[in-house]
Structure 1
Amino acid sequence: MKVLIVGSGGREHAIATSVAKSKHVDKIYCAPGNAGIAAVAECVNIGAMELDKLVDFAEENAIDLTIIGMDDPLVAGIVDRFEERGLRVFGPRKNAAIIEGSKAFSKDLMKKYHIPTAAYETFDSPEKALAYLETSKYPIVLKADGLALGKGVLICNTLEEAKAGVKTIMLDKQFGSAGNCLVVEEFMTGREVSVLSYCDGTHIKTMTSAQDHKRAKDGDKGLNTGGMGTFSPSPFYTKEVDDFCNQYIYQATMDAMKAEGRDFTGILFFGLMLTQDGPKVLEYNARFGDPEAQVVLPRMKNDIVEVMNACIDGKLEDIDLQFEDNAAVCVVLASAGYPEKYEKGIQITGFENFEGKDGYYVFHAGTKATEDGIVTNGGRVLGVTAKGATLKEARANAYKATEWINFSNKYMRNDIGKAIDDVQQK
């Protein structure tokens, strides 16, 4: 069969790597892809938001399955476009992708169906938001309602910071139209855990847990980013937590979406906070997390195409989803200055060091192929992932592998998964 993957980041490279292992797949295309994806797929010069061109390409090339990696096209309704033309596609329809596309929608959904989450209020006027913040407890969290590349969340410790945050999101429109509506949320404390799941509209099967590191600098300092690294599984995601989430969060979300006439098929991502009062939902995403996909997919035993087809056909119950009994850590190599200003076009060397090394991966995110070789083309450049028998071993392997890659403005956090060392030493 022929498969088309839509997207250009590390997540899509991880998906392409898994698809390439499928016994059912003869040919992979990726639109637009990147320099790393080109090693396993034919990259097509069509942007992820060129919906009509993507549908036309899939039809003209008799694509058997299209996998949508990114959030923007999902929220824009790309799945609906494919289905209208009778094309097989993996991902939620527009009316279901809203669970990520609007934080106000997802918070209202959780409130209506009693799914544990932080207390909140939503505002479509900066004046009303500012008046509310005058009487709020601090710290407090401000979230742009729409898609903001994982950066539209501000943690404010004082009223002054909150006022500045309202200006940034709603008046200065730093996150564009995502800031037309503002969600103000109570600040929760605890461990963050990410749990990805496959969904077929009725049934849900969760994957192994992971934990992302959003802040740009060591010690969880600096600005929010799209993710600076991750590890899987999370030692903080215990059986007790899993049992609670299965009962009150996972299936409850699927049932809530179905009750609203928004059956969810595809990947549903649960961002959880393990609070003193139990697990609560921080956010939903309607696709694989990035970089969570880079540690979860390498550990999955199943044929990814078989699982996705089961989701599309409403037969997820027939799948015995399995993961390796090991661990994986991903360290993002970024361009110095990310997520603000950074240079592009810098030559990258060392890819050959990964050849023939089982359990080591270098997933391309912001790269470009040129006549002189592969160069940087974004803030998050590469995701270096390594597996190990334990999280401690996987972490050591991942950091060892970061030394195999070089570019002049290479930047990374040096504490990805550091918390796991203490847990495993106890």
Structure 2
Amino acid sequence: MSSNTRILLVGNGGREHALAWKLCQSRLVSQIYVCPGNGGTASLPKCQNITSVSPSDFPGLCKFAKENEISLLIPGPEAPLVDGIVDYFLEYVPQIKSFGPSKAAAVMEGSKTFSKDFMKRHSIPTAAYENFSDYDKAAAYVDLVWESHRIVLKATGLAAGKGVIIPLSKEEARAGLKEIMLDKAFGDAGNEIVIEEFLEGDEISILTFSDGETIKSLPPAQDHKRIFDGDKGPNTGGMGTYAPAPARIVSKETLELIDRTMIQPTINGMKKEGYPFIGCLFSGFMITKDGPKVLEYNVRFGDPETQSLLPLLENDLAEIMLAATNGTLSSIDLKISDKSAATVVVAAGGYPNSYKKGIPMRVSDVPSDDVVIFHAGTGLSEDGKLTTSGGRVIAATAVADTLSEAIEKAYKGISCIEFEGMQYRSDIGARALK
């Protein structure tokens, strides 16, 4: 393989910083352009932030890619994938490989109603559900099923990980339905809604590399979606993760079952229906008393799962990505560290509701080499000083021989971060340590 791979990485979150951090270590990579990047990617070797073109300006990105001899496009977030960035590059700069799915394949995340119907077509275990675009019919359904089981409300479109409501009463369910479908709390994402059976158990996330046929899955991670300790408060994009989830939560046998009967059939089904999946498939599962069931698909690396998983990956990430784009993923022997990793996210005060941006911040040196600070909502002021620029601002990731050690080190990493109003959970990984 060439040692002159030039990468265009689209995005500005913690996931993109983690991807750039890992790709910088590759012997195959000579240059990484991050559009628009953040305060963390700006300081990485081989990396340069690009703010002269918008991530949504596909013609501008193609022009930049041609002028800078890009050989690999990596779209980080879901929005450009759902909007068809891979198809656009294939049409206008076909010599550039893309690690990411086509617009047709990205509908698996872009529409929850589509993905639920896909699971039904391919007999992939999931929660019982119905789809609605009419508010009155959805409300009648809530009244009908509430007496028999709890439900989950999901806006069908993209909602930055926040379009899910888990009501505790029928009154809350009706209010949530109104919030999504009538009040448009999540914009057009709530034009259609999935109402599904509430599943009980342990939730895990599995990130899987695919070249359209072969799958190679990373270890299971557990995310912490809610803003406050004890899984209280509203949903967020993710306040922390750890990996791997212990065997008492998901056994090796269950993971093999998931790969064989759920993830591989998903990849096979997408190919059969004419939109093969190339990239990283993020599958959310609930491990119920009746076995694992798929909660949802995402068509890109998870955030903050990526921050915990990539430090455990011993392979060259660029080599895996290039193999996926070349259809040779079966030649890769995935090597995973036997250690544990934990990530603690620091958010702006007020998040996930309204919050201030542009707050000065300071990040001092981390306590040890096995702690990494991954930036997300950070930027540089005109005089080059670090400031906040988003809701989930920054995170500390640590790797150690045991999960409890990794968690302890991650919190020591948090002590290196300072800005006004910062908030974070103090119980990341607690479920695994019970």
Verify the 8 A CA contact 1:392 1:420 in the aligned structure 2.
Answer: no
1:78-93 correspondence to structure 2 within 5 Å: 78-84=85-91, 85-86=93-94, 87-93=96-102
Question: Moved runs in structure 1, 4+ residues, more than 4 A?
Answer: none
Find the counterpart in structure 2 of residue 232 from structure 1.
243
2:211 & 2:97 partners in 1: Cα distance? Answer: 14
Find the counterpart in structure 2 of residue 69 from structure 1.
76
Matched, 1:43 2:55: no
SS at match of 1:354: coil
Find 1:113's aligned residue among 118, 122, 140.
Answer: 122
2:259 & 2:200 partners in 1: Cα distance? Answer: 21
Find the counterpart in structure 2 of residue 2 from structure 1.
6
1:97 & 1:56 partners in 2: Cα distance? Answer: 24
SS at match of 2:222: strand
- Over residues 307-357 of structure 1, what are the superposed CA-to-partner deviations in whole Å (9 max), with x where a residue is unaligned? 001001111000001111101100001111110022221111133x128x3
Find the counterpart in structure 2 of residue 401 from structure 1.
413
Find the counterpart in structure 2 of residue 389 from structure 1.
401
Verify the 8 A CA contact 1:271 1:282 in the aligned structure 2.
Answer: yes
SS at match of 2:319: helix
2:139 & 2:432 partners in 1: Cα distance? Answer: 39
1:121 & 1:420 partners in 2: Cα distance? Answer: 33
Paired residues, number:
420
- Over residues 88-116 of structure 1, what are the superposed CA-to-partner deviations in whole Å (9 max), with x where a residue is unaligned? 11100001011111101110010111101
1:155-304 correspondence to structure 2 within 5 Å: 155-235=166-246, 236-304=249-317
2:319 & 2:196 partners in 1: Cα distance? Answer: 39
Find the counterpart in structure 2 of residue 55 from structure 1.
62
2:67 & 2:330 partners in 1: Cα distance? Answer: 33
Verify the 8 A CA contact 1:269 1:288 in the aligned structure 2.
Answer: yes
Specify the code of the residue in structure 2 equivalent to 1:55.
C
1:336 & 1:231 partners in 2: Cα distance? Answer: 23
1:173 & 1:125 partners in 2: Cα distance? Answer: 13
Specify the code of the residue in structure 2 equivalent to 1:304.
L
Matched, 1:33 2:33: no
Verify the 8 A CA contact 2:15 2:306 in the aligned structure 1.
Answer: yes
Verify the 8 A CA contact 2:395 2:414 in the aligned structure 1.
Answer: no
Verify the 8 A CA contact 2:377 2:393 in the aligned structure 1.
Answer: yes
1:95 & 1:421 partners in 2: Cα distance? Answer: 41
Specify the code of the residue in structure 2 equivalent to 1:385.
T
1:298-377 correspondence to structure 2 within 5 Å: 298-351=311-364, 353-354=365-366, 357-370=368-381, 371=383, 373-377=385-389
Verify the 8 A CA contact 1:328 1:385 in the aligned structure 2.
Answer: yes
2:234 & 2:336 partners in 1: Cα distance? Answer: 33
Find the counterpart in structure 1 of residue 424 from structure 2.
412
Find the counterpart in structure 2 of residue 134 from structure 1.
143
- Over residues 184-243 of structure 1, what are the superposed CA-to-partner deviations in whole Å (9 max), with x where a residue is unaligned? 000000001110000001111101111100000000000000000000100122112112
Structure 1 vs Structure 2: percent identity of aligned residues? Answer: 49
1:173 & 1:215 partners in 2: Cα distance? Answer: 21
Matched, 1:151 2:162: yes
Find the counterpart in structure 1 of residue 27 from structure 2.
23
Q: How far 1:76 moved relative to its partner?
A: 0.4
1:109 & 1:350 partners in 2: Cα distance? Answer: 45
1:89 & 1:257 partners in 2: Cα distance? Answer: 18
- Over residues 285-318 of structure 1, what are the superposed CA-to-partner deviations in whole Å (9 max), with x where a residue is unaligned? 0000000000001110111111001001111000
- List gaps (5 residues or longer) in structure 2: none
Verify the 8 A CA contact 2:14 2:307 in the aligned structure 1.
Answer: yes
2:213 & 2:432 partners in 1: Cα distance? Answer: 35
SS at match of 1:121: strand
- List gaps (5 residues or longer) in structure 1: none
Verify the 8 A CA contact 1:110 1:116 in the aligned structure 2.
Answer: yes
2:32 & 2:239 partners in 1: Cα distance? Answer: 28
Of 159-168 and 316-325, more deviation after overlay is shown by: 159-168
RMSD over aligned CA atoms reads: 1.1
Q: How far 1:372 moved relative to its partner?
A: 5.8
Specify the code of the residue in structure 1 equivalent to 2:159.
A
1:368 & 1:243 partners in 2: Cα distance? Answer: 41
SS at match of 1:131: helix
Of 130-139 and 10-19, more deviation after overlay is shown by: 130-139
Specify the code of the residue in structure 2 equivalent to 1:320.
D
Q: How far 1:61 moved relative to its partner?
A: 1.1
